[in-house]
Amino acid sequence: MNAPAPAPAPAHAPGPPLLECPRCARPTASLKHLRLLQLGLFAWLFWYVRTVGVVACPRCMRRRLLVTALLNTVPMNVLWPIAAPLAYGIPLLLTFRKGHSKVVRRAVGV
């Protein structure tokens, strides 16, 4: 007796198209563009914040958030416990949303 033939793959899978992550080159259906806090500096009455736009898959984005959050613990010092949940927690939650970011969808025309 013959085994049943596997179901043919659909010609076009439902959902967003797969796009290549510019950091790890893996295809993803959730390419994210987020503005992240790259540098936060607090020195008594002086403070400085620099943000940068990052395009990456959720995995690369979470890694970037973790590294940046750890690197900013010293320059942000006493502000870190207050600023970190906003600066890193919100983008972290956004990496769990399915689908591409609006900026990415506009850029590739999907």
Q: If you ran DSSP here, which 8-state letter would residue 89 be given?
A: I
Provide, rounded to whole angstroms, the least separation between the CB of residue 35 and Zn ion. 18
Closer by beta carbon to Zn ion, 30 or else 76: 30
* Interface with Zn ion (CB under 5 A): 21, 23-24, 57, 60
Q: How far is the CB of 16 from Zn ion (least distance, A)?
A: 16
CB of 3 to Zn ion, least distance (A): 37
Tell me how far, at minimum, the Cβ of 24 lies from Zn ion, in Å: 3
Q: Report how far residue 79's alpha carbon sits from residue 85's, in angstroms, rounded to the nearest whole number.
A: 11
**DSSP 8-state class, residue 87:** I
The 3-state secondary structure of 37-86, one letter per residue: EEEEEEECCEEEEEEEEEEECHHHHHHHHHHHHHHCHHHHHHHHHHHHHH
Residue 22 or 81: which CB sits closer to Zn ion? 22
Query: Nearer to Zn ion by C-beta: 72 or 95?
Result: 95
Query: What tokens does 47 get?
Result: 């403070």
Query: Which of 23, 105 has the CB closer to Zn ion?
Result: 23
Under 8 Å between Cβ of 58 and 28: yes
